[in-house]
Structure 1
Amino acid sequence: MTLSEATPELDPATIEKAAHDRAFLGHPKGLGYLAFVGGCERFSYYSMQTLLVLYMVKFLLLPEHIGTVWGLEWLQGGWYGGKQGQPLASAVFGDYTSLVYLTPIAGGYIADRFLGRRTTLILGALVMALGHFLMAFQPTFLLALICLVIGVGLFKGNIASQVGELYAAEDSRRAMAFQIFYIAINVSVIGAPLISGTLGEKVGWHWGFGTAGVVMVAGLLLYLKAGPWLPADNAPVRGAARERPGLEPGDGARLLAVVLLVPALAVALITNNQIFNAYLVWADEKFALTFFGHTLPTSWMITIDAALSFAMLVCVAAFWKWRAARTGTEPDELGKMIIGSLFSIAGGLCLVIAAATAGGGKIGLFWPVLFHLLNSIGFSNMLPVSLALFTRLAPRAMNATVLGVYYLAFFAANKMVGEIGGWYSDMDTVQFWLLHVGTAAIGLVAFAGFRLFAAPRLLAHA
């Protein structure tokens, strides 16, 4: 669905059929298909996330290869201001990963107004697969990135909405359905570095990108097969009008709060999002990844992070549930975001210590793994509840629009990650990671200030 309009009416026939369908773990069969298709898409996306910077730094942007990429030298001298090597790789990464949080807004609009959800999703899967296969050829690198940005935009917003439409509003299975859906996604995030990352680093870069394309095609074929078990399409009906609720007293202040929270959240996310950029370059250069004569792929650090993130999401949710049952209280959304920022600061300090104590030798994995653990706890206390906070602040008339505004924080964060990551080559490593600790501290101060001065009045009736 588009981020600027309300959810369409659920199809009664689909709801009636799904109410009696318990073929997949007690849920409709369509959920199983959507979970696997979503997992395939995330596998392909995180394969790119894992390999992109390493591929550019270690191969594509070397002097003997960069001239083979159509348009890259022209773009390097113009948009990227003459950047070379790792700073150029970081900037390209930042543009790519930021744009994938803008294009889903257009993808939802296209689905609602022109093509319908299914056609838009299928088109997105085809364009994404094309992008992955174009990564197998050096000249088409930039064209591949453009295809991937467009494909994610067409695909991303048009699959999760179908999960909810499998269930009636009063169906108690709905919440568990989304948990199952996101479990499949997290499994894919863990698996992508192990499979595509290993193939890319150990066999050949294009093998890793090609694997992502094959998995994307498999996801598309599964989606086509799933047609009879999916919700009815939301193809637009010409001339149909929708009633839209108006703004209410106090909505203007809540909208202002949302706008102010976007840059605060974006800055707080920088350390976490840098994991896919300069952090991987640092790990490839400095981490002690050789054990018993075998050197592990650097991309496996992403698997460690993804596994810890998944585990900490479960543990943090269980902890707050246990605390609420024992004491009858738990922190509000901003309280948890403040706690998350403290853990992010602690995680960043682990990287500072690792860089400061390494000297000229290799860095053991104790401090990096501790960073991933602490950062994952911070992530688990920040991301899910920040989305809940934004939807709570959102006026009823603009709930879906505020969701689009929320993802602008990720756009801004990744753009800043691309710019800051480019400083890694010329900046002292200790200072580089201290800078990231500072960004987490800015987020902490912003969240604390908002909770102290604005939240009591704005959230009182939200």
Structure 2
Amino acid sequence: MSTHSKEEIVRSVPQKGFFGHPKGLFTLFFTEFWERFSYYGMRALLLYYMYTEVASGGLGIDDGTAKSIMAIYGSLVYMSGIIGGWIADRLLGTQQTVFYGGVLIMAGHIVLALPAGTTGLFISMFLIVVGTGLLKPNVSSVVGDLYSPRDVRRDSGFSIFYMGINMGALIAPLVVGTLGQEFNYHLGFGVAAIGMLLGLIVFVVTKKKYLGLAGTYVPNPLEQDEKKKVYSRIGIGALIVVILGAITIPTGILTINGFTYLVSILGILIPTIYFIVMYRSPKTTADEKSRLVAYIPLFIAAIMFWAIQEQGSIILAEYADKRTELSFLGLELQSSWFQSLNPLFIVILAPIFAGFWMKLGERQPSTPKKFSIGLLFAGLSFLVMIIPATINGTDSLVSPIWLVLSFLLVVIGELCLSPVGLSATTKLAPQAFSAQTMSLWFLSNASAQAINAQIVKLYTPETEVIYFGVIGGVAILLGFMLYLLSKKIQHFMKGVR
């Protein structure tokens, strides 16, 4: 276990200096800013790169398969957070794990910048999946280390951190997307690699002075005899995966579609096992077990929310490319630019939400109620997409205003749910599984995208109304159910608000 108490860790961090928050928030804000610039810049181009014909600089992959790959890619990125959380909790601590993750992400973007075809795509995906799994859950966990558990600035701090994430995501499609669509996809991916390099530089240069002890400890280190067993199992497991891949891929047993089904199953199975293991662990106290029970409905709500939000880079990205009029008020738009709408609205609205929660203080809605509001707006963001198809049919191009409205609604929901979910996770996490519980939070996104890998295949212009209507309606219904259960969930949280 950690040799430092939470109070010692908090005291080691300069508590003032970044908008009234700890100075360490500056380091983590700009590290994530550049990491998200690289990731969302790449993602703004990836779907188009996959389904664009080879003669036009793409890979020529079938539309439906390309959409499934996008969803599975996103699922694996968040699923790999399990690895990052475990390595931080048992081997390296969060600071070191963040650094190594950034290095792998940068390498992945460099590979994608090379004209290596489908082989380069999958090598890059592997590197970015593992790298993001190491970095993303752990950088958020370090944010939690900057504050004492009862610090009223905590939710506001996570909202500011979330704004940094989205500032990077806002700029990325405008820079990387424009370069990729106007000039060359590989040029865009190369600029994404430079973004991750800048993030690593910020982290290395400022961490010692601003982060103190935050993230330097290993919460639940492996004993010496445990290390041998774990390393042996990892080695054997990796060897089995390599052998199975070498046999099943060349023979056609394992296809891309087969792989997407496998990941979809794992997206549900893995978080279920995770909850069971943490709940049954002797290192989890009675109060911590109660908080895990309270966390389950929040986790399910988060899956529903992310299932809608993450389709912004898949279904709505295709909608922007094929169903939207890209000439607007004399401007010629790039379809990739619509990926900036989500972070643009977050950058505008996040300070308002942060200030609003601070002003309300103890009077602000409980975490379950914030989640239910988030689901309501997510559902509405899909229901509005029914309107243009109902009015004009699906054969004509629609005004980009409909996409703008959809992204605005889902962002309002996101600001009620996502930064609050990050904060709640750090407060509800069992001490022995602190970083791993943050990984579990990101598994809600992995599960959502694993489910999306099968759902997105159902979308066509002909099924548009039913597609948006059913998914949006289910989200609103689930939001109302969560609101009705909020008092019961709050009881199980054992004093955590």
TM (norm. structure 1) is 0.79
The corresponding residue for 2:29 is 35
The corresponding residue for 1:99 is 76
Q: Structure 1: any 5+ residue segments left out of the alignment? A: 68-83
Aligned length: 432
1:418 to 430, 453, 470: 453
- Cα distance in 1 for residues equivalent to 2:490 and 2:154: 31
- Cα distance in 2 for residues equivalent to 1:196 and 1:293: 23
Residue deviations 1:36-94 (CA, integer Å, cap 9, x gap): 2221111111112222212212246x999658xxxxxxxxxxxxxxxx61211111111
- Cα distance in 2 for residues equivalent to 1:29 and 1:390: 22
Q: Contact between 2:52 and 2:58, CA under 8 Å: does it hold in 1?
A: no
Q: Contact between 1:247 and 1:396, CA under 8 Å: does it hold in 2?
A: no
The corresponding residue for 1:451 is 486
Identity, % of aligned pairs? 30
Cα drift, residue 208 of structure 1: 1.3
2:39 to 32, 35, 45: 45
1:382 to 411, 417, 434: 417
Matches within 5 A, 1:16-415: 18=14, 22=17, 31-59=25-53, 66=59, 85-136=62-113, 137=115, 138=117, 139-163=119-143, 178=158, 180-226=160-206, 228-229=208-209, 230-231=211-212, 234=216, 246-248=284-286, 252=289, 254-291=291-328, 294-319=331-356, 324=360, 329-359=363-393, 360-387=395-422, 401-415=436-450
Task: Give, as a single letter, the amino acid of the residue that structure 2 aligns with 1:301.
Answer: F
Change (3 A) 1:35 1:395: closer
Deviates more, 1:363-372 or 1:435-444: 435-444
Q: Contact between 2:386 and 2:468, CA under 8 Å: does it hold in 1?
A: yes
Cα drift, residue 180 of structure 1: 4.7
Cα drift, residue 6 of structure 1: 6.8
The corresponding residue for 2:232 is none
Cα drift, residue 426 of structure 1: 7.3
Q: What is the RMSD computed on CA atoms of the aligned residues?
A: 3.8
State the SS of the aligned residue for 2:458. Answer: coil
- Cα distance in 1 for residues equivalent to 2:22 and 2:371: 35
Cα drift, residue 203 of structure 1: 1.4
Cα drift, residue 175 of structure 1: 7.1
Change (3 A) 1:57 1:393: same
State the SS of the aligned residue for 1:378. Answer: helix
TM (norm. structure 2) is 0.74
Q: Contact between 2:68 and 2:457, CA under 8 Å: does it hold in 1?
A: yes
Change (3 A) 1:426 1:387: same
- Cα distance in 1 for residues equivalent to 2:408 and 2:489: 30
Q: Contact between 2:380 and 2:476, CA under 8 Å: does it hold in 1?
A: no
Task: Give, as a single letter, the amino acid of the residue that structure 2 aligns with 1:148.
Answer: I
